[in-house]
Chains A and B, each alone.
Chain A
Amino acid sequence: MYRFVWRQLPGPLPVRILLSLALGVAVLAALYLVVFPALEPILSVEDITLGP
C-alpha cells in the first residue's frame, strides 16, 4: 500500500518526499478534525455526567 502510493507520486525524489509529507499531513488533519471527534463519544475514556 505504502509502496503503491510512493510509486504513484510524480517527480524527482525531493518532490516525492514533499508530496508524501503533504499527504501525511492531510491524512492526520482528516483524522483529528473529522474522524477522531466523531469516534470519541464511542471510545471515550470517561463519562462524567449523571443520567438514568
Chain B
Amino acid sequence: MGLGAVIRVATRVVAEIFLTLGLLVVAFVVYLLIWSDVQSAHAQSRLRATFEAQVEQAHRVHAVGPGVTTVVAPAPDTGSAVGVMTIPRLGDDWSWVMVEGVADADLAKGPGHFPGTAMPGQPGNFAVAGHRATHGEPFAHLDGLRRGDEVVVETTTDTYTYVVDRSEIVSPDLVSVLDPVPGQPDARPKRALLTLVTCNPRWGSSERLIVTGHLRGRAILAEED
C-alpha cells in the first residue's frame, strides 16, 4: 500500500470518528431536550392515575361526613406521589404530581419533596425541588411568581393553599432555607411554610432560585417565637 492510500484510509477513519462523535452529541441533546420530557410525562400520567385512585379511596373512607379529623399521613415511599401541586400563575393547565425524594430518579418524574421536611399543610417547611430545564421542566418559569400568588397543594385527603411571600437567589449550599423555621435550625415551627427550589440560571447550576410562601389562613394565626 502506497503512502497516498495510507493517507486516504487514515483520513476516512478520522472523518468517521468525528462524524460519529457529532451524531452522539446530537443524540444526547435530543435525549435531554425531548426524551427526558417524554419520560417525565409518562411517569406523571402513571403517578396521577395512582393518586386519583387514592383520592377516591380516601373519600370513601371519609364519607362519614364533615368534622372528621385528618390523620397526619406518614411520608410516602420514595418516588411515589405526595400530592398534586397547581400554580395558576404558571398557567391554567400547570399541574404536577409531586413525588417523595429529591434523587435524580425522583426528580425525573416530577417535582420532589425534600425528605424530612414538613408534609403539606403541616407546621414546618414543606420544601419541594423541581427541574427548571429538561425532565418536563415543571419549574421553568418559577421566576415569574409574585408575592400573593397561590400555590395549591392537594393531598389524598385535603387541599392546602399557600401564598407566595418572596423569591430569592441563594448559594447551592444554603440548606438552612429548608429548616422548619428557615434560618433557625433548632426553633419549633408553628407556621406552615412552603419553599420551592430550582436551579438558577435556567440551564445552569451555579445558584438556586428559592420561592417561599406560607399556608393561607391558619398560618397567620400563630407567629413563631
Contact = CB atoms under 8 A, between A and B. Distances in A.
Q: Verify that A and B bind, or say they do not.
A: yes
A45 B203 contact: yes
A39 to B, nearest CB: 7
A2 B23 CA distance: 13
B130 A48 contact: yes
B197 A48 contact: yes
Given A46-B132, A47-B205, A50-B172, A2 B16 contact: yes
Contacts of B177: 50
Interface string B156-199: 00000000000000001111011000000000000000000111
A51 B208 CA distance: 11
Contacts of A46: 131-134, 199, 202-205
Nearest to B31: A36
A48 B35 contact: no
Interface of A: 1-3, 28, 31-32, 36, 39-41, 43-52
A45 B133 CA distance: 8
A1 B205 CA distance: 38
Interface string B40-75: 000000000000000000000000000000000000
Nearest to A41: B104
Contacts of A50: 129, 172-175, 177-178, 197, 208
B175 A48 contact: no
Contacts of B24: 31
A32 B35 contact: yes
Contacts of B173: 50-52
Contacts of B27: 28, 31-32, 36
Interface string B202-216: 111100100000000
Interface string B17-48: 10010001001100110010000000000000
B129 A48 contact: yes
Contacts of B16: 1-2
B13 interface: yes
B102 interface: yes
B176 to A, nearest CB: 9
A2 to B, nearest CB: 6
Nearest to B104: A41
Interface in B85-133: 102, 104, 107, 114, 129-133
